[in-house]
Structure 1
Amino acid sequence: MEVLINELSLNGQNQSIQDFINTSFVRFIEIFQILEKQKIYPYKKYDFYNSKITETENFQSLFHLKNVAGISDEIKKYRTIADKCLSEPFWEENQQHDSNKVYLYKNQNVSNTSIPEAFERNATLLSFVPSDFNEKQIEVSKENQSKNLINFSDKKHLLETLYENKLLNFHFFCLNYFRGTKLSFENINVKESFELIANESIENDFYNSFKVFVEMNWNDIANQSNDTGIAYKKHHKQNEFYSYALNYEIYKFRASQKFRVFGFREKDIFYVLEIDTTHKRSD
């Protein structure tokens, strides 16, 4: 998969650099880091550094960030990603689109940008939001030919696309897709969970149950404890998990009639530890 950073998604729309960081750049960083972990390194335009963050400040202004105490670790992270956005690879080193031809997006000629380059490469775009590129796909046309280009501006959209195209495993997908929700895979025992999933059908059962879980509130989850819905309840064999040395009771919920998910709740987050694909633990 090839990904091109869409410089047109920065057009001075932010009120300040801090506004850009809070509303846009943090989301961009999430996507960028996931791509890096998959060894996908986004292409960019030579002059991307000049893309406007605000009406008066460009992308290169991120290198001048400071806080009261100097340069914090957070600012160092911003600078590191910003530097990668200004480094190789550049798509102009092997340009595929003809700059003399007209490529239209929303009736505007966008020739000599990353958009027509993605068009010719059958590549995807990585856009900053909010902008004119909030959609998951954008329609671009050249002469009598039209294409819908995949456009990443949201971490979950990226993860879904990579997962559907089998470019990442289920463990990595869940770890990142559900981060920040009431379901966490940070403490999971991979050997007693993801490595037990034998096929795509079982994987789908767990994925669907995870989505149902995070969409419910804790009152609704608790009210399904009597073998209804996800059947969230305390596990009757607490000693099975003694090796984790936890100060929490182990609970479980249903992924299917046969499959179960085990873990513990801390505040409003359920930390998954193991899964059961045999139903033996629930017998």
Structure 2
Amino acid sequence: MTGQFSDQDDFVSNGFRPFVGVLKEMQGCSTLLLKKSDVWDKMVTPNSTLHSLLIHNASRTSDEVRRLKSAIAVLTKEPFWDSDCKQDVDTTYLLDGADVCGSSPAEACERDKVVVSFVSSTASVDPLNIIRNGINVPLLNLTCSGKLTEHLWANEHISFESYLKVQFSGGKLDFSRVEQKMNFSVIQSTEQSLFIDTFRKFEELTWEQIHADQGLDYKEYRGTIGRDYRAIKTYKFRASQKFRCHGYRENDSFIVIGFETDHKLSDRG
């Protein structure tokens, strides 16, 4: 935050909403956001700090800002990185030629090389390149949701189950009610990419397109998955010629019951 937002509404619309999306994703991935302890004093608009904006009388009348105050409260609490600073006083950290020693980007160079940024600033680019003692250190810059989960998955820091639950949260696919007997463990590591590609396709299509897509072959399952689903109309769709995903429709979401990798269920319906 460098005073880049013209007013409170600009901050809420263009800064707060993407930032909260990143926070929710971090929580879903069980990752911590380290902050500098002076965050309240950072300039949001040319004339207002984060603290003054949130305590201003006009802010108290806004439902969205009240939600902001709750969501952003995590910024005012531990962990603060400056209580255990990893930067070396003899090391130089440059951003676009300017010395940023003592800043969060400089600290990220000495930690996991990931930062979270509010958009519409000189630090909104990804990657954010810091020159550390003459050597470029590219930082993954989280300015919107989705990047962190992909990064953790690509670097094998989260499980297949966690990846699906976080990356597809809030979309057409709901992985929160998968049955134990058909759970994520039945999918081998070599098969995971097939399922992920299919799930991405499923999310991008409309329901009308899903019903018409010959590759997905979305249709009612005529067999019985279990006693809990006898009164529920269940469906299945293809992840490949052999693999299937089973579940049921609930409003605009497809509740995933489980996965089929041996075609035994499909042979019965």
TM-score w.r.t. structure 2 length? 0.84
The offset of 1:233, in angstroms, is 1.8
Q: Give the match for residue 62 of structure 1.
A: 54
Aligned equivalents of 2:257, 2:15: Cα separation in 1: 33
Aligned pairs for 1:165-244 within 5 A? 165-197=155-187, 199-224=188-213, 228-237=214-223, 239-240=224-225, 243-244=228-229
Q: Deviations over 1:179-213 (max 9, x none)?
A: 2322222443354232322x211222211110121
Aligned mates of 1:282, 1:145 — CA distance in 2? 56
Which of 249, 262, 265 pairs up with 1:278? 262
Regions of 4+ moved over 6 Å = none
Give the conservation status (yes or no) of the 8 Å contact 1:251–1:264: yes
C-alpha contact (below 8 Å) 1:100/1:111 kept by paired residues: no
Is 1:263 the counterpart of 2:247 in the alignment? yes
Distance 1:100 1:279 in 2: 62
Q: Which moved more, 1:117-126 or 1:29-38?
A: 29-38
**Mapped partners of 1:37, 1:214: distance in 2:** 19
SS in 1 for 2:102: coil
Match of 2:129 among 135, 139, 155: 139
Distance 1:221 1:83, change over 3 A: closer
Give how far 1:260 is off. Answer: 0.4
> For the structure 1 residues 119 and 171, does the alpha-carbon distance in structure 2 shift closer, same or farther, using more than 3 Å as the test?
same
Distance in structure 1 (CA, Å) of the matches to 2:264 and 2:230? 22
Distance 1:15 1:86 in 2: 23
Unmatched 5+ stretches in structure 1: 1-9
| Contact 1:193/1:276 (<8 A) preserved | no
- 8 Å CA contact retained: 1:136, 1:157: no
TM-aligned CA distance change 1:132 to 1:203, over 3 Å:
same
Task: Give runs of aligned pairs for residues 6-25 of structure 1, distance below 5 A.
Answer: 10-25=1-16
Q: Which amino acid letter does the alignment assign opposite residue 263 of structure 2?
A: H
Contact preservation (8 Å) 2:113, 2:138:
no
Aligned mates of 2:180, 2:54 — CA distance in 1 = 39
The question of whether the paired residues in 2 share the 8 Å contact of 1:62 and 1:82 is answered with: no
Q: Post-superposition shift, 1:229?
A: 1.4
Shift of 1:257: 1.5
CA contact (8 A) 1:29 1:81 kept: yes
AA aligned opposite 1:270: F
Q: Is the 8 A contact 2:198 2:239 kept in 1?
A: yes
Structure 1 Cα separation of the partners of residues 189 and 248 of structure 2: 26
Please, which runs of 5 or more residues in structure 2 have no aligned partner?
A: none
Give the structure 1 partner of residue 109 of structure 2: 119
Counterparts of 1:52 and 1:168, CA distance in 2: 35
Aligned residues, how many? 264
Q: 2 CA distance for matches of 1:164 and 1:49? A: 34
TM (norm. structure 1) is: 0.80
Which AA in structure 1 matches 2:97? N
Query: Structure 1 stretch 52-61 or stretch 204-213: which is displaced more?
Result: 52-61
8 Å CA contact retained: 2:12, 2:65: no
Measure the CA separation in 2 of the matches of 1:187 and 1:204: 21
Which residue of 1 is the match for residue 94 of structure 2?
A: 104
Among 84, 102, 112, the alignment partner of 1:94 is: 84
Contact 2:216 2:238 in 1 (8 A): yes
